[in-house]
A and B are shown apart, each in its own frame.
Chain A
């Protein structure tokens, strides 16, 4: 392609042509003069005979052009020139669109990363599994084996669970996160190692037979600095030796999309880490997190679900003690039980972001319409001079598209940067969870599409205006002739835009209020002034009775820190931590057939030390809490919450001294009742809970609650130094209780932040919208206003004349938006705890906000209207 020389050659061709035509006209004029015409007449005559010179020249040039591209290029240059003449308008429009398209690109990036993008494994689309959560049975290893062998729908089923052992390479032991998996895990996923090899089902020969680990690529990179010599090396998990077999491929970080773990190890070796195994317990609900596999070709999801439920029914029949069948939904592997909530949330966000874009388009549409009517003289002149309407419309659309493409480019750059930040952000301090939202090529495509669609959308607003334009009338009358009192497209657009903005402002205020309320709500414990020390004694090699002794030593050591008021511990997890909780099946005392179907309740179960309630700030309603005498061998006792007392025994007083039964038949006596609290999530209904003496069920993992008014940093430092004195090799984390709550607060915080941002954007859009409208109407009627002022109209009337219409539109739009917003927030209530639209503060807030927006947006135009100097204005014409 010799494109560059071509351009040069063409330049000459065009010049020749112009020159030639000029000479032609000259020759004709001379001839006419020879026939006796005056020079002026002759020149006009020559032109008339020639025809439309511009058009003919254009047609002549088109002969040489690569037709479509070049005329588009010409249109573009023309549009650029037009835009350069009003840079304020161009910049405002580009920024508006950049924000709107950027918001949509971010939301799409989240949607794409969290929902659309499957796990990075072959044929991920046919990978389905059980959801962690309320599915009794599928959390037990024996039941997994039965499901694996009895189903007929899957090409192999794998299981995995989480494990958090101390990871020791010989120096600096630290906490780590990993999966325990079935031996066939990698084979079911059909992936190949990046380095070394994976373990397989054939490597397992019963408990503790396969002391292997496979590292994730990221962990290999960060912990081993990409050392290819790691294969075959021995590392210590909770002080037990394991051999590194290989490294997983880079994109693969496990089968939960938002968990970024360090390594994989065979499930059969989990017992090694904790000195005891759940693998042989059919009633266990902690051994397995999820079970998944590829559907066999031709098997539908419905068939597979029915198959799994049939196996469940079979197991319930054969193991009634340990299995109570509940219908099991299967879902795409990756998002576990959060899939529904995430999808709903992201769908909501997409809707709101779409509204933002629509509002932006309405905004720009009315700006373009105003511009077109300002330029109606120019358009009329061009039409009169023989330009085709098609050409003019193409010019206008080119302008719109240029703006929208520039805005889209800016927006997508911003959103890609934001998504990159988001994808490396670790929202929950101690958990290996991240948002899998790293941007990919799709986002650019979506942004481009949005830019083109919105460009066309607001570009066509002035089309009707141009098509109807009658050059004769406009040139005769001037542009100010138009503008009656009719309702125009622009008015409608402004109302729509303000309504959308009001919806966004309403929902963001509702979300903020809901979040504020849920932060002040009663959790059944007091997270303020409480520090949590988390450790797993198994990571330090403690086992059996050693654990209780060690925890007692830590308990005593914490109590000696000056300023500490109360200390107590809870085994495993405190309430509201990471969504992790244990529940127990509870039977009434008179129940003798302890099958799962006969449970009276399934309360949350916490094993707590003496002093825990005081340290946690949970108030005891009646009876006693535990003492150090409630140890091994002492009678089984429990403290229950109010909900449990009412549910099982009828009332709080009736519960005292009564017994209930646990799954293993143990009779437990109620010795105290505490207030209700929140255990799993902030928006749960009151749930039953029981508290058992920690001394009666030793466990390595615990949270020590330390209550003190001291400065948190100093307190944490003191706690860490005490721990170093006790055992410097034991990994511990010290955090405030509030920080641990971050997970349960995460959804509503996310919702509030994103709604807040969208609300802010909506507000900005409506400011520019109202401002544009007001400024335009003032500038259009400047002469009329000047005359009014000259005739002595009071300021109020001038303002009313100038701004009455925009303000009326603002009122209508706000009212409509408020109503819509209140309806929309019913949806919000699912995400944001206690988000209720029937809140006088929210209503007042929205009205106030819209009023403020109106004042801000009309301030400058109002000033301009008032400062009109009638003399100058009237002199101008």
Chain B
């Protein structure tokens, strides 16, 4: 509950760095096409519930991906017989994911070096 006198701030609850959510969505969709709800479940399970993403924040990210034609969407019926809108990764989505993963890994390496200057990057 917010304290009565505290002014409300615009919260987007984005604890992730920009683009992280998109990357995770693409990665999930590479494994298999899914609809929004399933995507949320998948991401939360895979991160051992460490990433507490607001469920709804998935949708603006999905719209951005749709607009950039990195994913495509189709209405259909799920295995549990529900009407769902299933997202599929496109070819350009795959390419973008590769790029992002490699640049993310490079960035991660850099961060690791800064944090642990003594250790080498041996796997």
Which A residues form the contact surface with B (CB < 8 A)?
Answer: 13, 16-17, 19-21, 23-24, 27-28, 49-53, 56-57, 59-64, 383-384, 386, 388-389, 470-473
Contacts and interface: CB of A to CB of B under 8 A. Distances in A.
B57 A56 contact: yes
A845 B58 CA distance: 71
A471 B7 CA distance: 9
B11 to A, nearest CB: 8
B67 interface: yes
Given A16-B85, A23-B82, A23-B83, A50 B63 contact: no
B102 to A, nearest CB: 26
B55 interface: yes
Interface in B39-80: 40, 54-57, 59-60, 62-64, 66-67, 73, 75
B65 to A, nearest CB: 9
Contacts of A64: 63, 67
B5 interface: yes
Given A23-B37, A51-B54, A57-B59, 7 more contacts: A20-B36, A20-B59, A52-B56, A56-B59, A59-B60, A60-B59, A64-B63
B56 A50 contact: yes
Contact of B13 (A21, A51, A471): A51
B37 A28 contact: yes
Contacts of A21: 36, 56, 59
Contacts of B40: 24
Contacts of A50: 54-56
Given A24-B55, A51-B57, A470 B37 contact: no
B82 A63 contact: no
Interface string B16-50: 00000000000000000001110010000000000
B10 interface: yes
Interface residues of B, number: 28
Contacts of A56: 54, 56-57, 59-60
A472 B63 contact: no
A60 B56 CA distance: 10
Given A23-B84, A56-B57, A17 B8 contact: no
B4 interface: yes
Nearest to A27: B37
A63 B63 contact: yes
Given A16-B85, A20-B85, A24-B36, A53 B8 contact: no
A452 to B, nearest CB: 28
Contact of A63 (B12, B57, B60): B60
A697 B35 CA distance: 110
B55 A51 contact: yes
Contact of A51 (B7, B56, B85): B56
Contact of B82 (A27, A49, A51, A384): A27
Q: Name the residue among A61, A63, A383 with the largest chain B CB count within 10 angstroms.
A: A63
Chain A contact surface mostly: helix
A473 B7 CA distance: 12
Interface of B: 4-5, 7-8, 10, 12-13, 35-37, 40, 54-57, 59-60, 62-64, 66-67, 73, 75, 82-85
Contacts of B83: 23
A154 B104 CA distance: 76
Nearest to A476: B4
A765 B84 CA distance: 60
A408 B66 CA distance: 43
Contacts of A16: 73, 75, 85
A415 B66 CA distance: 52
A177 to B, nearest CB: 71
Contacts of A13: 63
Nearest to B10: A388
A62 B40 CA distance: 22
Contacts of B85: 16, 19-20, 23
A60 B55 CA distance: 13
Given A27-B37, A63-B64, A472 B59 contact: no
A595 B43 CA distance: 109
Contacts of B10: 388
A378 to B, nearest CB: 16
Nearest to A53: B56
Nearest to B36: A24
Contact of B4 (A20, A386, A470): A470
Contacts of B7: 389
B4 to A, nearest CB: 4
11 contacts: A13-B63, A23-B85, A28-B37, A28-B55, A50-B54, A51-B54, A60-B60, A60-B63, A63-B63, A471-B8, A473-B4
Nearest to B41: A31
Contacts of A28: 37, 55
Contacts of A384: 8
A388 B10 CA distance: 6
Nearest to A56: B56
B47 to A, nearest CB: 16
B31 to A, nearest CB: 20
A175 to B, nearest CB: 77
B25 to A, nearest CB: 14
A389 B66 CA distance: 30
Nearest to A388: B10
A23 B63 CA distance: 16
A388 B8 CA distance: 8
B45 to A, nearest CB: 13
Contacts of B5: 470, 472
A482 B112 CA distance: 58
B52 to A, nearest CB: 10
A24 B37 CA distance: 6
A735 B5 CA distance: 80
A63 B57 CA distance: 13
Contacts of B4: 470, 472-473
